[in-house]
A = this chain, B = another copy of it.
Amino acid sequence: MSKVVDHLKGVFSGDAQADRVVPPSGFTARLTSFAAATMAFLTVFALALSMASGRLAMKWGDELTHSSTLRISAPAGQMADQTAAALRLLETTPGVATARALTSDEQRALLEPWFGPDLPIDALPVPQLIEIQETDEGYDAAGLRLRLQAEVPGAVLDDHTRWRKPLQQAAGRLRMLGWVSILLIGATTATMITLAANAALAANAQVISVLRLVGARDDYIAQAFVRRFTLRALAGAAIGTAAGLIAVMILPAAQEKGGFLTGLGFQGMGWFWPLLIPPLAAIVAFFATRAAARRALSELT
């Protein structure tokens, strides 16, 4: 392990002399940078996708999990009593953040699509609705129902489970999709960089054998290549990441209107994750080139 650290130090300190022994460019070299760049670009997109779907899942979850409705149907005379009882009961229920009886106006607004604005709500046996905001932990719906049955016989609890399930599933699927893409693209990036490093080293077989002939140590040779390719992958991935971020930013952005999908993009701490891509690419390149160089060297005496 300490050898790896030494190596890593070498990569960044650098030895101008050792550096020159590696041919400056060529197709295989360009391939390394390009593979790193495009794969970084795709990774940024996959990250953006999985973050957006993560946010989406959270939003769907939030909107529906944390509120439920209590409906009280009772003869006009008992309505106020039962409502008060229900409110009292809810206040003492663990997991209920707030409970609030809707006003007549609010109820009318809810019913308007059905009956039009002129509904004489007070004259009707319209049930009283109570809006419940849950805490993060949520409450025990079954227990609450039991207590309500005992104390407020006219109350019906609607905890939105019916609506919540499919939305949560959908959001979960989206999030999984994001992670699957990120895993796939990450794995592809690593393999691509590995293969490119191998190809580049194969193309440089003559350089390696000449160096070995004139008495260079394995470490010297490996480090010259490792340094070059690690930096190349780092630069390529940095460019790709930057391009990806820019592309994500300029994607048609009318985000807020979307309602169901928050915009594709990064928010807050989310900006931090794509910045990990270039160092990760560099680390992959480091180990891939190191292994490839050692393999190439082991074929020579």
Bound form: Cα–Cα A203–B118 in Å? 83
Instruction: Determine if B195 and A27 form an interchain contact, defined as CB atoms under 8 angstroms apart.
Output: yes
Measured CA separation A92–B73 after assembly (Å): 42
What sequence of 0s and 1s flags, for each residue 6-37 of chain A, a beta carbon within 8 Å of any chain B beta carbon? 00000000000000000000111011001100
Q: Contact: A38 with B191, CB < 8 Å?
A: yes
Q: Contacts A192-B35, A258-B166, A258-B169 hold; do A115 and B73 have CB atoms under 8 A apart?
A: yes
Digit string of A161-191 for contact with B (CB within 8 Å is 1, else 0)?
0000111011001101100110011001001
CB distance from A136 to the nearest CB of B (A): 24
Q: Please state if B174 and A73 are interface contacts (CB–CB under 8 Å).
A: no
Which residue of chain B is the closest to A259 with respect to CB atoms? B166
Question: Nearest-CB distance from A22 to chain B (Å)?
Answer: 16
> Which residues from 88 to 117 on chain A have a C-beta closer than 8 Å to any C-beta of chain B?
110-111, 113-116
Q: A45 and B184: CB pair below 8 A?
A: yes
Chain B CB within 8 A of A286 CB: no
Q: Say whether B126 contacts A115, CB under 8 Å.
A: yes
User: What CA separation (Å) do A260 and B171 show in the bound complex?
Assistant: 9
Asked if A251 CB lies within 8 Å of chain B CBs, one says yes
**Interface flag for A153 (CB, 8 Å):** no
List of B residues within 8 angstroms of A192 by Cβ: 34-35, 38, 192
Report if A245 contacts B (CB, 8 A): no
Residues of B near A174 (CB, < 8 A) are 261
A187 closest partner in B (C-beta): B38
A38-B188, A42-B184, A71-B114 given as contacts; is B177 within 8 A of A49 (CB)?
Answer: yes
Which chain B positions have C-beta within 8 A of A39?
Answer: 188
A251 contacts B180, C-beta separation under 8 Å:
yes
A280 within 8 A of B: no
Q: Which of B31, B173, B259 contacts A264 (CB 8 A)?
A: B173
A151 at the interface (CB under 8 A from B): no
Q: Does A224 contact B (CB under 8 A)?
A: no
- Cα distance A196–B192 in the bound complex, in angstroms: 11
CB distance from A179 to the nearest CB of B (A): 12
How far, in whole Å, are A196 and B32 apart by their CA atoms in the complex? 10
A selection of 13 A-B contacts at a CB cut-off of 8 Å is A27-B201, A28-B199, A34-B195, A35-B195, A38-B192, A45-B180, A73-B115, A120-B125, A124-B124, A166-B257, A167-B260, A170-B258, A180-B251
Top 9 closest pairs, chain A to chain B, by CB: A166-B259, A170-B260, A170-B261, A73-B116, A27-B202, A27-B199, A38-B188, A27-B198, A28-B199
